[in-house]
Amino acid sequence: MTPQSNIGEHKETEVDNNGITSDHHQDIKSNPELLSNQSQDLTTLGDESITEQEKNIDGKSSLALTKEETVELTMASTSLPGEVFHGSVECINCHLYLSHYRIILTCEAREVVAVIPVANIDEIENRNPLVLTILCKEAKTWKLRFSTVEMACLWYKNLSHLAVDKSPIDKMFTFTLSSELHKQGSEHSNPFLWQIYQKGLKDGNGEESVEKEFNRLQYNKKHWRISTKNNDFKFCDTYPRKIIVPTSFSDEMLQTLDTARFLNRIPTAVWNCKETEAVLLRSSQPYIKFFMGPISEDVIYIDHCRKAIEGVNKGLHIIDARSYAAALANRTKFGGYETAECYPNTDINFRNLTNIHAVKAAFNELRTVLSSNEITDKGSALVQNGAWINYVSSLLETAIFTATLLFDSKKNVLVHCSDGWDRTSQITCLTKLICDPFYRTFEGFKVLLMRDWVEFGHKFLERNGLIPGKFTKLKKDKKYG
């Protein structure tokens, strides 16, 4: 392969001697293993070019390759259990190998330069007829140059088909891999993969971690207890089986809160400050009746949360991640916010953090700047003054503010946004990282992710575009359909 000059309507990254193009791989050129656990030579894959039959873009489905045309990965140490390779193509600037799980890019020497999981592809762009741009969800960008428009067209359809594929969850590769490892057993599996598989089975249930955290954080059992009210997920299907609630509030009393908060995500404790016994809580927004105020049971429960601390100065700080205007707008769907008039001895602070629409737009703006290949003062200024940096800054400020309240005011703090699974998780996790060094360890960080994100129902699949959702938009190209 001979490196070619830049081609395209906008500026492309210069192709290096290895012939691979990326906006983020300067370090990878000297050490290709950084992006792949499989650093073996892929020469045995062969150089399977696209056949004339495959070039017929008006024919069958883009990935309808015959069994004979399928490129099998012959090195067991390179392929993953259950992985099936669909084909390969020699681009001008690299070799591309495609499976139903990932894309492997190699340079002239067949060294692996990049491994891109298909689920990590956000979008495939074709602004130039001969160049395909792979936009990844973590902001990396890869450009593939083809020798003919027909070839670029075919592989645009191939990659786009996988990128927007919304197959059932149980068809995702992670389940295939797990099933294959289970079939192979420890004797015939890769030791590293088998260890991860076994550990995943052991650590998959986070119920024990609740008790461990409760004891490690030294919750005052006079004020707080672990409730199994949600053991069957009937109380709240997006909350953990076990939740930490005020001791003074029984499970029978919890049942009265079934209409108090959005999605029944009631305030529950997620961290205890050993020094002050101030507790960090999280929830969704309260239901607010028109002309009638909040649900009376919610007011009573919040009062129990407020009083669940030693001392005479028992108040409650409420951190609302939204702006006041956004919180007020939620009144149209019977949502809203707490007020000091309805919730005695509470202080409400609105943090003005933008919603998911604005965050997505800010990320796309950041990715565009990072992929422009112009490391200039102008480009640096665009990043520093961009909406993404402003959002991250506001998020950190909110976490610091929350941590300060827990240590200095010695009062319990409740954090929520609208539904309580995006901005709320960000604030509580950052606050815990600031306050507690345990969460800065590998073991602690795993506990943090499992508890505050997985068990509290964060919509990972939808937010990552793996299943259709409210914010998932499947794009269809006008040119290539």
417 classed as catalytic = yes
Q: Which of 91, 153, 417, 435 is catalytic?
A: 417
Contact 401, 395 (CB under 8 A): no
The span from the CA of 276 to the CA of 279, in Å, is 9
Contact 407, 276 (CB under 8 A): yes
Which of helix, strand or coil describes residue 44? helix
Contact 472, 465 (CB under 8 A): yes
The span from the CA of 274 to the CA of 289, in Å, is 38
The span from the CA of 319 to the CA of 424, in Å, is 9
Q: Amino acid identity, residue 4?
A: Q
> Alpha-carbon dihedral of residues 387, 24, 106, 180, nearest 10 degrees?
-50
Token reading at 455: 């068990």
Token reading at 171: 């068809």
Distances 467 to 204, 464, 473, 476 between C-alpha atoms, Å: 22, 8, 10, 17
The span from the CA of 57 to the CA of 154, in Å, is 6
**334-343 as b/e: b if 16+ CB within 10 A:** ebbbbeeebb
Catalytic residue numbers? 417
